[in-house]
Chain A
Amino acid sequence: MALPTYATTGQKIWHYSYLTLCGLIFFFLIAPIIVIIPLSFNAEDFFTFTPKMLALDPEGYSLKHYRDFFTNPNWQQALVNSVKIAPVATLLSVSLGTLAAVGLSQSHVPFRRAIMAVLISPMIVPLIISAAGMYFFYSRIGLQGTYFGVVLAHAVLGVPFVIITVTATLVGFDRSLTRAAANMGADPVTTFFRVQMPLILPGVISGGLFAFITSFDEVVVVLFVGSAGQKTLPWQMFTGLREQISPTILAVATLLVVISICLLTVVELLRRRSERLRGMSPT
């Protein structure tokens, strides 16, 4: 997007003000995330920049909220629950979702549009409606307040992400490869795992990451479907915001941002790898 050497002054002004505008918008995107990082080192128990912090006085800063996170049994239990729930929900939505995406990508699928609409709907239906519906229904069948109930609910919420990303990878998938494998005597299962899977794996993984983060960051549904025994990190954060004043949630958030950056890097690397595999070099 470099400016040509023959650009007029007007074009230059326009170009640089455009870049400034973009910079401001990026700032708008990132500022709320940046602002929590110093606050998480606040020495006081409120979400406020204290005068001491603004004066960069070391006394205004402390690691006590991080210490609280790592020592407080409530937070630790919430972490354990999140770690117990998210991977299982992800596994469920990825395995069922990948199978279904492969099915949907076949050339002749009856009611394809309708099926697709149903499978994507968990992403579209307002969360409060999903949560309320599951609350009443799961209560009736005895799943409300159980580990299994929360896993099911989170798995359903993750399904659309898996479907979307995996079908997107399958669009570019060369079907002659599976035919070739079948021609050489591989049965469908072998073909799927040895030929198709390695090629769509980046899509599956990034779908899985989306599903994972959905479960890991989900608060509305777990508030309704879960009970104290399934209190996840977001739930604990929500309680932290509403019931007790504690910047511990900012410490948690900072840790989560760091994890997010790591995950995003993984996704980016995977994407590059997938493009290399498909023979598309980054331009």
Chain B
Amino acid sequence: MKLKTTMLMAASAIAAAPAVVAQEMADSMTLVSWGGAYQQSQVNAYSDPYQANNAGLEIVWDSSSNEAVAKLRAMSEAGNITWDLVDVVAADAMRLCDEGLAMEIDADEDLAAAPDGTSASDDFGDLLVSDCFIPQIVYSTTFGYRTDVAEWNGKEPDDICDIFDLETFPGQRSLEKRPINNLEWALYCDGVAMDDIYDVLETEEGQDRALAKLDTIKDSVVWWSAGADTPQLLADGEVVIGSTYNGRLFSVIVEQKQPVAMLWDAQVFDLDGWIIPAGLPEDRLARVMDFVKFATDTQRLADQAKYISYGPARASSAPLVGKHAELGIEMAPHMPTDPANSKNSILYNFDFWADYRDDLDAKFQAWLAQ
């Protein structure tokens, strides 16, 4: 079935190829991303150079990625798609793909090959977790902690399970207001082996066990829902330790020079990338395909790492990662994928979360409200 679809797609792509070249391209494009420094890095690395090559193109940025699934569903229900390209995390991409809200792509046909000729599908490799998903970056969710907490008596957390240790490390923590990652950490710190986490989480007992572990610190947790929350809370001293995306912590520590340090232990890797909404008119689709091909090539992905500490999703981009555009420091040691940082890390299980997200979300939200 799979093979057949691929072959058919390839065949139709070949048939359609001459048409695409002749196609008129729309002269405006709406890109959706997460706002903040991340979106800025995309503007610098992707859209500014692209606009330089395409005079007269208007690019509108919308920072609605955290409501992307809801908005795309409403748009498709109304038959009025106003977005052209949407930056989402891999789990959202899988969901949109499953519901037919995102367009399936053919990596080798639609994306640029690496400079050495490696095909796009090999260059991205395992990171192409869904037929609709065009990966951009590898990021991780990890912890930052304040380095000046008096009550810790000079100790600093170096183990993920220190989060659950209110005796040695008292103070407020911040965790994300959703089950993903929190349940994994809870089980790991409740003694489940790294490899068994998802097997345990599949069972009702395992889910209750994870929530019971989280119960032990529930009263000391501030729940965050926006990426800016934990950095602000850490900078204000409102929390002493908190989870967030590693790029946000990089900016707090290196750019803002706050007394905060990274805890890389048991960081959870995740992917972020583009999806193209299904059902775009042809001229807009042609424009988006052209942009995507440009914006996800080897050089562009490596360029993005100059502005933010997320790892490029292409294997061929890694050697090109250089220094920070303003600070001039080497970016490689700040990447989540750096060997020193990824000694102990959790591999986010996309298939598990695609299947169980609704179930666990309902459970977690009910637990939270109790």
Contact = CB atoms under 8 A, between A and B. Distances in A.
In-complex A–B contact (CB below 8 Å): yes
B78 interface: yes
A145 B82 contact: yes
Contacts of B64: 227-228
Nearest to B30: A228
B80 A139 contact: yes
A243 B236 contact: no
Contact of B256 (A44, A227, A231): A44
A45 B258 CA distance: 10
Contact of B80 (A46, A144, A231, A245): A144
Interface in B37-76: 37, 60-64, 74-75
A interface bracket (residues with beta carbon within 8 Å of B): 20 to 34
A227 B62 contact: yes
Contacts of B78: 139-140, 142, 144
B144 interface: no
A44 B235 CA distance: 10
A95 interface: no
Interface stretch (B128-136, B186-194, B223-231, B347-355): B223-231
B227 A243 contact: yes
B256 A243 contact: no
Given A139-B80, A142-B80, A227-B62, A243 B226 contact: yes
B62 A136 contact: no
A197 to B, nearest CB: 41
Contacts of A231: 62
Given A44-B256, A48-B236, A135-B74, A227 B30 contact: yes
A47 B61 contact: no
A56 B232 CA distance: 23
Contacts of A242: 35, 225-229
A274 to B, nearest CB: 44
Contacts of A106: none
Contacts of A142: 78, 80
A136 B74 contact: yes
Contact of A245 (B61, B225, B235): B235
A257 interface: no
Contacts of A281: none
Contacts of A283: none
Contacts of B77: 139-140
Interface in A88-145: 135-136, 139-140, 142, 144-145
Contacts of A135: 74
B74 A239 contact: no
Interface string A41-52: 000111110000
B36 interface: yes
Interface string A223-255: 000011101000000010111110000000000
B307 interface: no
A245 B228 contact: yes
Contact of B235 (A48, A136, A144): A48
Given A228-B60, A228-B64, A239-B35, A245 B82 contact: no
A47 B228 CA distance: 12
Contacts of A241: 226, 228
Nearest to A135: B74
A42 B326 CA distance: 22
A243 B63 contact: yes
B75 A243 contact: no
B294 to A, nearest CB: 21
A229 B64 CA distance: 12
B35 A243 contact: yes
B332 to A, nearest CB: 25
Contacts of A144: 74-75, 78, 80, 82
Contact of B232 (A145, A227, A228, A245): A245
Contacts of A227: 30, 62, 64, 82-83
B274 interface: no
A244 B37 contact: yes
A228 B35 contact: no
B124 interface: no
B228 A243 contact: yes
Given A139-B75, A228-B64, A243 B34 contact: yes
Output the residue of A140, A227, A231 with the most chain B CB within 10 A. A227
B309 to A, nearest CB: 16
A243 B226 CA distance: 6
A144 B74 CA distance: 10
Contact of B36 (A46, A139, A229, A244): A244
A113 B82 CA distance: 41
B70 to A, nearest CB: 9
Contacts of A145: 80, 82
A203 to B, nearest CB: 39
Contacts of B258: 46
B231 A245 contact: yes
5 contacts: A45-B256, A144-B82, A227-B30, A228-B60, A228-B62
Given A227-B82, A241-B228, 5 more contacts: A139-B78, A144-B74, A144-B80, A145-B82, A242-B227
Interface of B: 30, 32, 34-37, 60-64, 74-75, 77-78, 80, 82-83, 225-229, 231-232, 235-236, 256, 258
List the 9 closest pairs (A to B, CB-CB), nearest first: A228-B62, A244-B36, A139-B78, A243-B35, A242-B226, A46-B235, A243-B36, A145-B82, A228-B60
